Structure 1
């Protein structure tokens, strides 16, 4: 019974994966079709076909985090810093 349940579970997971892959493929095909229609319309009307572009500034994310960050390292201590930390002495090899 255990092997039958495992087999059925594997088949269901395989089918779910295939449905997910098919949905991604359909979405990709629809986007490509939309791109082709847009490009063809631009050629017919004599306009330039501007590409789909999402501009990302890598510094933007860093700057937004740094604006919200506490002033760590400027004389303040991080929250939860321990006062009773001592150095560990190295034992000589025996």
Structure 2
């Protein structure tokens, strides 16, 4: 029983490792095709970079917790000539 469990774990590890290798090779091929196309069209070949600021998540969290009411100086002033509407009567919803 112990031997079967070890064999299963080794096979599972090999499958995970092989799938990670396939993903890596596909990404490498995709980047190579992108670089080849850039060279073919005369554009500069740029490296693949995944940039991430370390405090980006904190900034988004602060933005989501900010008040959603507009500030007084950001309110659009009413244009003259729009004060002629004084009352609106509600109608029943149409079927």
Where do 1:1-80 residues align within 5 Å?
A: 5-65=1-61, 68=65
* Counterparts of 2:62 and 2:43, CA distance in 1: 42
TM, length-normalised to structure 1:
0.58
Q: Which moved more, 1:40-49 or 1:52-61?
A: 52-61
Q: Distance in 2 between matches of 1:63 and 1:36?
A: 35
Aligned length: 65
Residues 33-64 of structure 1, C-alpha deviations (whole Å, 9 max, x = no match): 11111111110110112322222111222334
Instruction: Name whichever of 35-44 and 57-66 sits farther off.
Output: 57-66
Structure 1 residue runs without a partner (length 5+) = 69-94
Runs of at least 5 residues in structure 2 that lack an aligned partner in the other structure: 66-95
- TM score, norm. by length of structure 2: 0.58
* Cα offset, 1:21, TM superposition: 0.2
SS in 2 for 1:58: coil
Within 2, Cα distance between the matches of 1:34 and 1:63? 33
